[in-house]
Amino acid sequence: MGSNKRAPLPYRTDRTKNFEKAWKRYNKSGRYDMQAAAEAMNLVTNRNPVPAEYRDHELTGEWAGFRELHIGGDFLLVYRVDEKNEMIYFTDLGTHAELFE
């Protein structure tokens, strides 16, 4: 049986200044697994199914239109998918307390 060799193009990506600052801060501190963060980003960028352990879900309220996934414990990746323009906007990284309070 032949394998399917077709695949959609990965999304194009963009990062906010908040995201880039958070990445640098966490990468420098060694507090969280940034390799795991990069792997989570690759999953969504490459249109792969996000495993259940990431608890990927839509946000509501002032964050409506954004999604959040758990990289590990309370370490979160916030992003937005723009299907029309085939873009992923990586918006922020942090804990619930840092991002939403």
Q: Is residue 31 part of a domain?
A: yes
Q: Is residue 6 part of a domain?
A: no
Q: Any idea what the CATH number is for the domain that residue 49 is in?
A: 3.30.2310.20
Q: Is residue 7 part of a domain?
A: no
Q: What is the domain extent for residue 49?
A: 12-100
- pLDDT for the residue 2: 56
Confidence of residue 1 (pLDDT cuts 50, 70, 90): low
The residues carrying an active-site annotation are: 96
Number of domains in the chain: 1
Query: pTM of the entire structure?
Result: 0.90
Task: Give the relative orientation of helices 34-45 and 17-29 as an angle to the nearest 10 degrees.
Answer: 140
H or E segment to which residue 89 belongs: strand 87-94
Bridge-based pairing of strands 87-94 and 12-15 is: parallel
C-beta pairs of 61-66 under 8 Å, 24+ apart in sequence: 63/100, 66/91
Structure tokens at 51: 């495993």
> Which tens digit of pLDDT belongs to each residue from 28-83?
999 999 999 999 999 999 999 999 999 999 999 999 999 999 999 899 999 999 99
Residue partners of 25: CB distance under 8 A and separation at least 6: none
Confidence of residue 5 (pLDDT cuts 50, 70, 90): confident
